[in-house]
Structure 1
Amino acid sequence: MNQKFTALWVTENSDKTVTRQVLERSIDELPTGDVLIKVVYSSLNYKDALSATGHKGVTRKYPHTPGIDAAGTVAATTDNRFQVGESVLVTGYDLGMNTAGGFAEYIRVPANWVVKLPQGLTLQESMIYGTAGFTAALSVHKLQHAGLTPEKGEVLVTGATGGVGSVGVALLAKLGYHVVAGTGKASSHDFLKQLGATTIIPREELVEISNRPLSKGRWAGVLDTVGGDILTTALKSTKYMGYVSCCGLVASPDLNTNVYPFILRGVDLLGVDSVECPMSIRLPLWQRMASDWKIDLTQLMTDECDLATLNNQYIDKILQGQALGRVVVKL
């Protein structure tokens, strides 16, 4: 099939810099796979921006098309679980990392990566969620499964204006939790209150600069999206038998902490990985995100753009920490 399609194409130069451009590719150039999908929407995540700027921790080999999210319709399939024309989505696995991703009009992937679009979601809505929304839902799932209930007290969400954080705030608020939003963007307070945050804390107050092994316990739970010193402080500030989920590293991948939160307060640190999340968890969570956990997606700050605008504006914006809410890419 020599059909042409448009894609974002990232190449590595001899001096190790990268060049990005929107160009035409052929379906024959896509990797092998069971399901060919005509992509209608994708979305921008921090990991996509890293891949688009040559980060070898995300993408090992270039040239490459980033985009860890894609939603569209089945164009061809060799797997009888799917039908041509059926609406589907793909998030995580190797899509957009080392397999040509969703910043293109077509992707071809293994059938085991593909999720049928749940009833109650449009293709656009599924990408307003995207990996960020799924990661937020998975974080809430793990916090609840560990034992966090609304009556136990305040729940802190760090990086609250980002993709994971904003969905996390809205979802926790919908489920009846007292949400405290941590952010470095003073202009975003109205946005966070609209999502359901009852209290907003500036980023500088989320970092404990003393060397005390523990701080006064405040949080019943924490949904951390940033890592680094903010996660360190959150652990020290979590109440007895509290729960902290960890899913991001935009502040730092390093965690400089001690054992006291764990051995004196019994705090649980819950790792959240949405990339290899098994279908036994992934499918029910997407169903919940389309039904009883569905948030008012119109409340999220959502920008919609094409590939050219994504390339020229939004990739650099998210790397500079200027992103607010979600960026959906219309192919």
Structure 2
Amino acid sequence: MSNSTTFKALVVREVSDGEFNKSIQTRNLSDLPENDLLIEVHYSSLNYKDAMSAAGNKMITKNYPHTPGIDAAGIVISDKSGTFTAGQEVLVFGYDLGMDTPGGLGQMISIPADWALPCPSSLTLKEAMCYGTGGLTAALCIQKLEKIGAKPSDGSVAVTGATGGVGSISIAILKQLGYDVIAFSGKTEQSAHLKNLGASEVRHRDTINEVGSRPVGRELWANAIDTLGGDYLANLLKQTKSGGAVSACGLASSTELDMTVLPFIIRGISLLGIDSVTIPLPEKQEIWARVATDMKLPDIEQYCEEITLEQTPEYLERFIANKVVGRYVVNVRG
């Protein structure tokens, strides 16, 4: 553990109205907010929300300069609350981390103790960040489908945004649990990659919208996980089999939902909302227990690209340019 009072962090600054720049800077511990739990961050990961914060989206981050990073895995330096002991490995996902509280793209963070949970003994800090919020969200989507009765024998599960962080981990976990997966992506050149993850079939995402303005379409999949929103979500719902469900966790395409109630009342399907940010800590601990056991991918690191803190400005731009493939884990001290 470091005894230094300085550390490196990605800092986003507003240089003019609507203009932001990103750079790696040296920060002082005194720059961090006063909270009970001080953590030396070893790994973080990149998420779409980090890219929006780094681009100056004030719906995500109101005050700049700011350090993004909604994920962090590291070692406890001190805890005034007495919840954790020095040297203990911990994980942090969501809440206000990386939004208006300096986040995991810095080598030190100071947070309330009830934002953190112990790292499961079967996961290394790096493995936990290979999942990150994207993997946590994927696991929550699958678990919610299962809680209303979804099982592999029902039929295929459709996954949109398949090359993204949530989509790619969803495919791999679903395959491990025995489900057949249809992957939808705008990057059909990544078909071999998606089939390697576990998809039995890859389709262009726009084929979902071929149902057009019809209130319902043919029943094509038993259940689905949607990361896009908008017409993709509406048309997934229109083509879900009777009694099936769609877990909705993203808005990469749109926040709007334009459809009739007919799929709900003539097919009895369910729309399941997924919140991975503010769910109570016990629920996060529950899902992480599954990520560390039956949902644990034995080769999780193959689904991630490891980068350094210095590379994060470049890689965050990939999210804005829609060039993301898989998960990016950040070796904050590498």
- Which category describes the TM-score, using the shorter chain as reference length? over 0.9
Q: Is the 8 A contact 2:130 2:300 kept in 1?
A: no
In terms of mean alpha carbon deviation, does 25-34 or 292-301 score higher? 292-301
Aligned mates of 1:186, 1:41 — CA distance in 2: 31
Q: Is the 8 A contact 1:301 1:324 kept in 2?
A: no
Deviation, 1:79, is 2.2
Deviation, 1:299, is 6.5
Matched residue of 1:207: which SS? helix
1:314 aligns with: 315
Deviation, 1:253, is 1.2
Aligned mates of 2:297, 2:191 — CA distance in 1: 19
1:66 pairs, out of 68, 86, 111, with 68
Can you list the C-alpha shifts for 1:196-235, whole angstroms capped at 9, x where unaligned?
Answer: 1111111121223621111111111001111111111101
2:227 aligns with: 225
Aligned mates of 1:147, 1:292 — CA distance in 2: 17
Aligned mates of 2:281, 2:49 — CA distance in 1: 22
Deviation, 1:263, is 1.1
Aligned mates of 1:259, 1:216 — CA distance in 2: 16
1:268 aligns with: 270
Give the aligned residue type for 1:265. R
Q: Is the 8 A contact 2:211 2:217 kept in 1?
A: no
1:98 pairs, out of 82, 97, 100, with 100
Aligned mates of 1:60, 1:108 — CA distance in 2: 19
Matched residue of 2:210: which SS? coil
Aligned mates of 2:83, 2:4 — CA distance in 1: 26
Backbone CA RMSD of aligned residues: 1.3
In terms of mean alpha carbon deviation, does 287-296 or 65-74 score higher? 287-296
2:32 aligns with: 30
Can you list the C-alpha shifts for 1:137-175, whole angstroms capped at 9, x where unaligned?
Answer: 011111100111111111101111110001100111111
Deviation, 1:81, is 2.1
Matched residue of 1:147: which SS? coil
Aligned mates of 1:301, 1:175 — CA distance in 2: 17
Q: Is the 8 A contact 1:125 1:297 kept in 2?
A: no
Q: Is the 8 A contact 1:128 1:297 kept in 2?
A: no
Deviation, 1:298, is 4.2
Can you list the C-alpha shifts for 1:220-264, whole angstroms capped at 9, x where unaligned?
Answer: 100111111111110110111110000001111111111111111
1:187 aligns with: 189
Deviation, 1:300, is 4.2
Aligned mates of 1:250, 1:310 — CA distance in 2: 20
Deviation, 1:296, is 3.2
Aligned mates of 1:254, 1:297 — CA distance in 2: 37
Aligned mates of 2:178, 2:58 — CA distance in 1: 41
Residue 13 (1) aligns with residue 15 (2): yes
Distance 1:300 1:208, change over 3 A: farther
In terms of mean alpha carbon deviation, does 93-102 or 187-196 score higher? 187-196
Deviation, 1:301, is 3.4
Give the aligned residue type for 1:192. L
Query: Could you state the TM-score of these two structures normalised by the residue count of structure 1?
Result: 0.97
Aligned mates of 2:173, 2:150 — CA distance in 1: 14
1:79 aligns with: 81
Q: Is the 8 A contact 2:67 2:103 kept in 1?
A: yes
Aligned mates of 1:196, 1:186 — CA distance in 2: 15
1:118 aligns with: 120
Give the aligned residue type for 1:21. S
2:244 pairs, out of 242, 245, 249, with 242
Aligned mates of 2:294, 2:212 — CA distance in 1: 42
Q: Is the 8 A contact 2:127 2:300 kept in 1?
A: no
Give the aligned residue type for 1:323. V
1:210 pairs, out of 212, 220, 225, with 212
Deviation, 1:192, is 1.3
- Gap regions ≥5 residues in structure 1: none
Number of residue pairs aligned between Structure 1 and Structure 2: 330
Q: Is the 8 A contact 1:68 1:101 kept in 2?
A: yes
Aligned mates of 1:16, 1:320 — CA distance in 2: 18
In terms of mean alpha carbon deviation, does 203-212 or 231-240 score higher? 203-212
- Gap regions ≥5 residues in structure 2: none
Give the aligned residue type for 2:29. I
Deviation, 1:19, is 1.6
In terms of mean alpha carbon deviation, does 199-208 or 173-182 score higher? 199-208
Q: Is the 8 A contact 1:91 1:131 kept in 2?
A: yes
